[in-house]
Structures are given as structure tokens and as C-alpha cells.
């Protein structure tokens, strides 16, 4: 019995971390940093479980430890090829490129142009132009606490967009980008939530509560910026927290589907370079969709960014 018990300790550790993370206080920086690691532990522990099982099988020269490989699905589903989208689909992305990135803007511009986006919400990084796209809205002329609070909306042709004032607590606030997508009957909400660590955990809860109050059943319940009530909702971008956290559950509970659910480590988006080690373990970037058709998100690595991003194609929700 003892020999078999040693087989499962990595998986047991990951599941225990997931179960205990909600008990940590939401208003403490250390607690939310620890909770993010604990909610993100199961895929990592499942990978350790698989390696541990193989090691035990080789050391003991027995097949029984290979049962530990059953934890592999928790590591996540690998990426498939990009799915074909219906004619008229919109290709959109909300991407966080480090405001203090050492990379030259020409490299970022070329990479963004190659994505062939119809709508781009660019968080933090400030570009004078993006080839093929037109600037629709920004908050760059407002007094911002730091350059990283900047947000710009770019569209292929004319579009209606708005960047909100800073939302959150008195000490920690961030903007929200709102883009009307009438051709698909949707409203894109490009988030850059206040980070709960390393300085101040007070902003993310009021930010996501304010946002969730506009959403019910995957649709806007009242107008927001250029978007009308009844539009299907797409929440995408840097939520600054992980799946399972209270901000994530709050938005999913409003009728939004997490298109990256089940991807595990394959969808981990931070840290991914840009001055940080390129070892993504946490999924801070999300694609949540309501009453709108959507394809599988495609992961992109951006030059000079500490985040991986996701591109998603949207189309009108099929009639009931």
C-alpha cells in the first residue's frame, strides 16, 4: 500500500492546492499571489505526476506505476490547427505588449500586421501606426499614473470604440476598451484588470464587479459605450488573474464560455519574455464569449511582450 501511495503525491498536491486556494483572502497581495499559483498548480503537478510515474516504472522495473500517466489530460489539450471560419467572420484580439519593452516598434508593428486582424485592442504599448489598421479610440491623452495604463483600439476601417475612464478602487484602477461589432451582433470588452500583486490587491474585485454588472446571459443588459443593450458579449484580454479565481468565476457566471478551458499549460500566458523569464505558468489572458459564434482561439507570441496573446474569430450567433 505504501509503495502505491508514493505514486500519487504530485497529483494529490495539485488538487489540494486547487481546493484550498478559495480560502485565501481576496484583499491581500501575498494571498492572491499564492492563490494564483495554487489555482494554476494542477496542470504543473499533473506533468510532474507523469514524469514521476515513468521514473518509478523504470526504477522498479514494473508496469504498475504507469497508472500515474492517467493524470496527463490535466496537463492540457495541445493546440490544433486554425479552424475555418464562416464568411464574414471578424478576426479580433486584445493583446498586452509590455509598455517598457526593449523591442523596436517596427518589429511589433510587423508582427501585428501579419496577424491580419479586423479589430485590435492594444494594451500598454504605444504605437504610432499599425499597418492596415486605423486608430479608433485611446486614452493616451489622459493623465495616467503609469504608461502601462494606456489602451488603444485599432480597426480595419471605421468602427465605433471607446476607452473608459479608470475603473477599480481608489488606489488601483485600470481602463476598459469597448468596441461595437454590429456585423456579428457583439460587443468586444477589452480588459486590462488591476493586478492583485505585487503592490495592491484592492482594484481587481471592484473592476470585475463593475464589468459583470453589465452582463447577463452572455449579453449586455444595458448600453456601454458605443454598444447597445442586447449585444452578445466577448470579454478578452489581460484579466490579471487565473481560471478558478473569483474575478474569473464572476464573469463566467454571467453566461460567458471560457474558450481556453481545458488547455492547461498550453494556454499559460505569463511570464512569456519581455524582460521576464519566458516560462509561462499562469493564464492571465482570457477569451470569454457569450451570445456570439466563436472559433478556437489561436495563441500568438509577441515580440517584447511578457504576455502571450490570443486571436479569435467571431461570427453571428446562430438563430434559435
Question: Residues 142-200: pLDDT tens digits?
Answer: 999 999 999 999 999 999 999 999 999 999 999 999 999 999 999 999 999 999 999 99
Q: What is the pLDDT of residue 5?
A: 60
Number of domains in the chain: 2
In this structure, are 168 and 279 located in the same domain? yes
Question: What CATH number has the domain bearing residue 133?
Answer: 3.60.10.10
Residues 129 and 41 in one domain: no
Please list, in sequence order, all residues whose beta carbon lies within 8 angstroms of the beta carbon of residue 37, skipping any fewer than 6 positions away.
17, 282
How sure is the predictor about 242, in pLDDT bands with cuts at 50, 70 and 90?
A: very high
Residue 81 belongs to some domain of the structure: no
In this structure, is residue 67 part of a structural domain? yes
**Does residue 137 sit in the same domain as residue 285?**
yes
Indicate whether 275 pLDDT > 90: no
User: Domain for residue 115, yes or no?
Assistant: yes
Residues 163 and 261 in one domain: yes
Domain of 139, in residue numbers: 90-315
Task: Tell me which of 100 and 209 has the higher pLDDT.
Answer: 209
Whether 187 is in a domain gets the answer yes
Whether 83 maps to a domain, the answer reads no
Distance CA 276, CA 296 (A): 27
Q: Is the pLDDT of residue 84 over 90?
A: no
What is residue 9's predicted lDDT score, i.e. its pLDDT?
A: 94
Q: How many whole angstroms from its chain centre is CA 45?
A: 21
CA 169, CA 173: separation in Å to the nearest integer? 6
- The closest alpha carbon to 266, from 95, 79, 49, 93, belongs to 79
**Would 65 be classed as within a structural domain?**
yes
Query: Beta 161-163 vs 176-181: how paired, if at all?
Result: antiparallel
Give the sign of the dihedral formed by CA 119, CA 203, CA 270, CA 110. positive
pLDDT score for 215: 98
Q: Could you tell me if residue 200 is inside a domain? A: yes
pLDDT at 79: 76
315: cell is 461570427
Q: Does residue 320 register a pLDDT over 60?
A: no
Condensed to tens digits (0 to 9), the pLDDT of residues 12-45 reads 999 999 999 999 999 899 999 999 999 999 999 9
Whether residue 270 sits in one domain with residue 232:
yes
- Give the Cα separation of 154 and 144 in Å (integer): 20
Residues 49 and 154 reside in one and the same domain: no
Which residues, 6 or more positions from 186, have their beta carbon under 8 angstroms from its beta carbon? 231, 232, 233, 234, 291, 292, 314
Amino acid at each position: 500500500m505504501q509503495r502505491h501511495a508514493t505514486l500519487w503525491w504530485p497529483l494529490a498536491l495539485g488538487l489540494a492546492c486547487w481546493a484550498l486556494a478559495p480560502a485565501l483572502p481576496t484583499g491581500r497581495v501575498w494571498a492572491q499571489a499564492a492563490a494564483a499559483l495554487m489555482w494554476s498548480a494542477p496542470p504543473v503537478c499533473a506533468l510532474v505526476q507523469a514524469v514521476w510515474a515513468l521514473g518509478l516504472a523504470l526504477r522498479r522495473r514494473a508496469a504498475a506505476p504507469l497508472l500515474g500517466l492517467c493524470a496527463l489530460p490535466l496537463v492540457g489539450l495541445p493546440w490544433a490547427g486554425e479552424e475555418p471560419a464562416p464568411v464574414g467572420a471578424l478576426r479580433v484580439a486584445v493583446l498586452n505588449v509590455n509598455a517598457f519593452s526593449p523591442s523596436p516598434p517596427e518589429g511589433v508593428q510587423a508582427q501585428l500586421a501579419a496577424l491580419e486582424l479586423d479589430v485590435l485592442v492594444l494594451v500598454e504599448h504605444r504605437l504610432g501606426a499599425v499597418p492596415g489598421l486605423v486608430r479608433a479610440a485611446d486614452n493616451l491623452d489622459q493623465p495616467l499614473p503609469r504608461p502601462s495604463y494606456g489602451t488603444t483600439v485599432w480597426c480595419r476601417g471605421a468602427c465605433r470604440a471607446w476607452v473608459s475612464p479608470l475603473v477599480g478602487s481608489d488606489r488601483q484602477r485600470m481602463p476598459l476598451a469597448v468596441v461595437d461589432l454590429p456585423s456579428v451582433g457583439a460587443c468586444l470588452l477589452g480588459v486590462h484588470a488591476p493586478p492583485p500583486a505585487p503592490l495592491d490587491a484592492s482594484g481587481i474585485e471592484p473592476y470585475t464587479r463593475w464589468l459583470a454588472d453589465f452582463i447577463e446571459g452572455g449579453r449586455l443588459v444595458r448600453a456601454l459605450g458605443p454598444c447597445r443593450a442586447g449585444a452578445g458579449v466577448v470579454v478578452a484580454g489581460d484579466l490579471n488573474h487565473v481560471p478558478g479565481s473569483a474575478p474569473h468565476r464572476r464573469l463566467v457566471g454571467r453566461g460567458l464560455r471560457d474558450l481556453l478551458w481545458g488547455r492547461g499549460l498550453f494556454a499559460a500566458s505569463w511570464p512569456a519574455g519581455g524582460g521576464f523569464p519566458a516560462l509561462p505558468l499562469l493564464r492571465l489572458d482570457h477569451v470569454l464569449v457569450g451570445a456570439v459564434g466563436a472559433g478556437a482561439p489561436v495563441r500568438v507570441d509577441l515580440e517584447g511582450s511578457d504576455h502571450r496573446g490570443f486571436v479569435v474569430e467571431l461570427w453571428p450567433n446562430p438563430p434559435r
